[in-house]
Structure formats: C-alpha cells, structure tokens
Amino acid sequence: MANLRITEIKAFVPSMDFELSQHFYKDLGFTMASEGGGVAYFHFGHVSFLLQDFCAESLARNFMMHILVEDVDAWWNHVQASGVVPKYGVRLTPIEAQPWKMRDFCLSDPSGVLWRIGQNTD
C-alpha cells in the first residue's frame, strides 16, 4: 500500500516589505526558523507558514489565513499585548460570535493579509 501520509502543509504568505513583515510576525510571537532566497519559514508551535518576498497588491488584499485556537480571548489579549497594532498601524477587530459556530477576530498584517483567529463554540 502506498504511503500517502501528509506531514505538513504551508501557505506562501505575500509581503510588500519583506523585512517589515518579518519583524511584525516576530513581534506577534512567531519564530522565524529560517530565511533565504526570499522566503522566511515561521512557526508558532507546530503551526507554520512561509513568508515570501513577493507581493502582487491584489493578492495581498485578497489573501486570508485562518488560525483555529483553543482560547480566542487569550489570543486577542496576546495580540493587544504584543503592541503590533499601534507599531505597524494594522487593523484588529473585536471578537465576534459567528453564525458558523465560532468566535473570532481579524488581524491584518502590514501588507494587508487578513488573519482570522477563531475558536469553535461547539
């Protein structure tokens, strides 16, 4: 039988200013494990993504990532405490109850990538 086990999947997140975006994600608490060739590998525990030194403006404005967490209130407080909102002039929404049985909030990065961070309610 063929081994079709997937060990990881990562998105290539666009950045208009590669260095600025790297600092943003570090300030948010992500670890940059490696960087080279216009790609930086970031992780937070076992969750990861690749930040790329490339950005088509329309791509960044329409790019969304989703993080499912155990405690959305703790994450919202973490984002507030990190200082990224005033430092980078990014948008942070309040936590909202969604009709798809989730409480979540949105955070944009310096390139306009939207991160939806949520917790299941059922």
If one counts the domains in the chain, the total is: 1
Determine, yes or no, domain membership for 83: yes
* pTM beyond cutoff 0.85: yes
Determine, yes or no, domain membership for 16: yes
Cα–Cα distance measured from residue 21 to residue 111, given in angstroms and rounded to the nearest whole number = 8
pLDDT tens string 54-111: 988 888 889 999 999 999 999 999 999 999 999 999 999 999 999 999 999 999 999 9
Residue 110's domain is classified under what CATH number? 3.10.180.10
List C-alpha distances in Å: 27 to 79, 86, 94: 9, 12, 20
Tokens of 31: 């670890």
> What is the average pLDDT value for the chain, to the nearest integer?
96
Domain enclosing residue 109, as ranges = 12-120
